[in-house]
Structure 1
Amino acid sequence: MKKILKFLNDYLEETICIILMSVMTIIIFIQVIMRYVMHNSLSWSEELARYCFIWLIYIGVAYGCKLMKHIKIDAALKLFPEKVRPYITIVGELLVLAFAAYIVVTGVELTYKQWLFGKVSPALGVPLQYINAAPVVGFGLVVIRQIQAIWYLAGKLPEKNGGEK
């Protein structure tokens, strides 16, 4: 069980992104072959590629947070004194955590509404709640990764007696 959890912690987002990018690339390649070689288009390929791309974006956001490479303004951090910077960084991570939690809550509401209305995609007939669940899953992973990042950064804070850990 520990090996599975370690794999999920280390490679979950990477694996999903690789799979989604591969599927998307193969689908688009097949569509190009069908269109220009066979002179016939697939009606569902662009829609499936679009949905893979949507999921890829949201899982990629979680991957960026895992690597602690999400958008931030380092120049603004340099405006603060050296001793305060670690705390400002944690405040920034807390803001990202709050935003991600908000997106999860509103995404769950949207996904639930799509489920209630029973809407489906035009070409594939896929229930739209599966597509609209992408922000919920992606930002749910962001919440987990932000908690991990905050925990990591809090562990690196200077001790109260002025010494470094």
Structure 2
Amino acid sequence: MSSSSPNSKLDRLDKALVATNRWVLIGLVAVMSVLVIVNVISRYVFGHSFPWVEEATRYMMIWAAFLGAGPALRVGGHIAIDTLVQALPRAAARVLRTVIVALIAAILVVLIWLGVEYVEFAWYQESPVLSWSLGKVYLALPVGLTLTLAHLAAIARRWIVEGEYEQADGFDPQAL
């Protein structure tokens, strides 16, 4: 028998999800930055621009936006109006937060389903410059939203019970 508890396995899986999500985002933003900087330098120094850079970075930005939604959710980085929740008694606030989590989860499930349909619709369409399958670009919707649902599941209990998000080093969404 394994000496580790199911919670520690879930914790390790959650930490791996967060770390992988973070490094993929860092990689995407780094590659986008390098491509844009090199293209700008090339345009102004050598008088030549790479036409594929704009399209590639646009698609990378789409992926980054959807992959970044989950980590932002974990730390309360999305816009929210919490005046009502703060004004309610503790028990009523928990009920309202439960309803909010259920609504967010339901909306994510519907958007994942619609995203899959959109991917299937666009799979054989090609992008104008790179000739990439647009379905692969739009795959960002179901992949990113499924990850967002996983991030929601990871923080839901704590947020419902305590009304608190995870803490991220150097980031306080309330200070923004």
What interval of TM-score do these two structures reach, taking the shorter chain for normalisation? Answer: 0.7 to 0.9
Distance 1:93 1:135 in 2: 20
Q: CA deviation at 1:66?
A: 2.7
Partner deviation per Cα, 1:59-86 (whole Å, 9 max, x = no partner) = 1111112334333211121232232112
Counterpart amino acid of residue 40 in structure 1: H
Q: Distance in 2 between matches of 1:109 and 1:134?
A: 13
Tell me the CA shift for residue 156 of structure 1. Answer: 5.8
Percent identical across equivalent pairs? Answer: 25
Q: Which of the numbers 23, 26, 34 marks the counterpart of 2:34?
A: 26
Where in structure 2 are there 5+ consecutive unaligned residues?
A: 1-8, 164-176
Give the conservation status (yes or no) of the 8 Å contact 2:18–2:71: no
Q: Is the 8 A contact 2:28 2:60 kept in 1?
A: yes
TM-score of the superposition, structure 1-length normalised?
Answer: 0.83
Alpha-carbon distance, 1:147 to partner: 1.7
* Corresponding residue of 1:67: 75
Aligned to 2:105: 97
Cα contact 2:94–2:161 (8 A) shared by 1 = no
Is the aligned partner of 1:86 residue 2:91?
no
Over the aligned positions, Cα root-mean-square deviation in angstroms equals 2.3
* CA–CA distance in structure 1, aligned partners of residues 108 and 138 of structure 2: 15
- In 2, the alpha carbon distance for the partners of 1:84 and 1:3 equals 29
Name the CA distance, whole Å, in 2 between partners of 1:28 and 1:156.
43
Q: State the Cα distance separating 1:142 from its structure 2 match.
A: 1.0
In structure 1, C-alpha distance between the alignment counterparts of 2:160 and 2:63, rounded to whole Å: 31
- 2:52 aligned residue (30, 44, 47): 44
Code of the residue aligned with 2:156 in structure 1: it is I
Unaligned runs of 5+ in 1: 158-165
User: After the TM superposition, which segments of 4 or more aligned residues of structure 1 sit over 3 Å from their partners?
Assistant: 1-7, 151-157
Normalising to structure 2: TM-score of the pair? 0.79
Following TM superposition, by how much is the alpha carbon of 1:150 offset from its aligned partner in structure 2, in angstroms? 2.2
Superposed CA offset, 1:29-68 (max 9, x none): 0110110001011010000111111111111111112334
